[in-house]
Structure 1
Amino acid sequence: MITLDNSQWNQLDEIILNLHIQKDVTILQTQILEQLAGLIPHRRSFFDLCTTQNGQRVFFAPVSLNMSKEELADYYKNYQYSDYVVWSFSNHSSTIYRDSDMIGRPVRENSDIYRQWMKPMDIYYSLGCTIFSGNQLLGSITLFRSEQEGDFTDSELAMLEVISRHLSAHFSFLWPYGTVPNLAANAAKAAGREGLSSRESEIAELIAAGHSNSEISQILFISENTVKKHVNSLYRKLHITSRTQLLRRLYDQMSIGTPREE
């Protein structure tokens, strides 16, 4: 059993108290990262949200105090599904992980995510947790250190586990049905900014609502091949290649739904 000192417990108490009274999720994400910087020193970190669309988990609205938008975008576009800790996200309850417990040095240093994404930022070790409501993944936190700063300790693992449990309880109360924004409404707003045609905007809204190409063709009374042409056109304009990227684009341009009233 890991023993924490009085100072660590005092910092944990403050973090837990603050998170349970905060309803604005973006403020909450920012506060948690600010407080974690004092509790668990690290070089880089981010706190993202997650929802499930058509059986696909989509991570969105990442907050970081020490990573650029480009660095985050690079991760979600190129590495999130090949990340060597991704297996921990397949569980159906909150998970705490330290990557050094999962992989050895040769595997790490030969991986694309390390060589192409982590190494340029001088980060080597990671510590993270997932946030669940029931069996629904609602978000995750990841902290990074350089090789020179050393690995995360057992006590730091234990402290993040405490925070993860409280975040899961708080998210379950605020968003019992998940952090699901109104994507269809946001697709219309995004259309004007991105130069989509009215038809492309309609199709983006229907994709956001979870409809397949076949269903969209029936709703709009056009052929499925025509739907595919419009989908390919909006993908080109948005510089994306998949529905998952479209959903994340819409998610990242809006806040999540209003939490439940007490």
Structure 2
Amino acid sequence: MTLISVRPVPFGTGRSVPTLMIMRLSFLTGSGRRRHLDPGETLLWEGEEAIFVANVVSGVMKLSTQTSDGREQILGLAYPSDFIGRPFTETSPYSVEALGEAVVCIFRRLDFERFVHEHARLEHKLLERTLSELDKTRRWMLLLGRFNAEERLATLLLEVASRNTLPIDGNAGQFDDEQFELPMSRQQIADVLGLTIETVSRQFTKFRDEGVIMISGHRTITILRRDVLEALAT
């Protein structure tokens, strides 16, 4: 992990609204530091001391845990503006790894906790975030436990589309909700969804041939039949 800037940085970037809006306060804006992560680099290790919390500035992070038999269990993904880490916990409950190149803004956990104690509204936001995380984890377990390959990929495509859309050409500040860049390789998608890369490739081909999506270049996806994906994801 490489420290690439020692100057204060803004809390979040991009379209999505940070989970903890109150963190835009000048205290955190002034105390955050950028860190660059290479693909596959781990930001937090499960069970190790939680020295800091962080906000994803760019890239996508994978949250995972180890099962009792040593297998990796994916808990979810973190996108730009998402908050990662667990305040008021001395050790990290999960590992956080960059799927590709990523930039995060980190804050010392103890400083963050001190700030939370002084601002009741932020404590409320943290509770909301915790409950939201529980809901996301339940949905993720449902995805991996009960959905078939087609349903899993449809769900992931809709999730990425909602968080990683591309700007519309010639329209500054406007984004195309139907076109996005996949932030991970097909092998990474297979790992995240608990599938083989062959199965993932077949499902992409099926969606393309049936006119559900259009694939441009290596990773640009355009959704042509959102209704089909939504039906599969519910």
- Structure with the largest fraction of helix: 1
Given the two structures, how large is their TM-score scaled by the length of structure 1? 0.28
Structure showing greater Rg: 1
- Structure with the largest fraction of strand: 2
Given the two structures, how large is their TM-score scaled by the length of structure 2? 0.30
Q: Using CA pairs below 8 Å that are at least 6 residues apart, which structure has the higher relative contact order?
A: 1
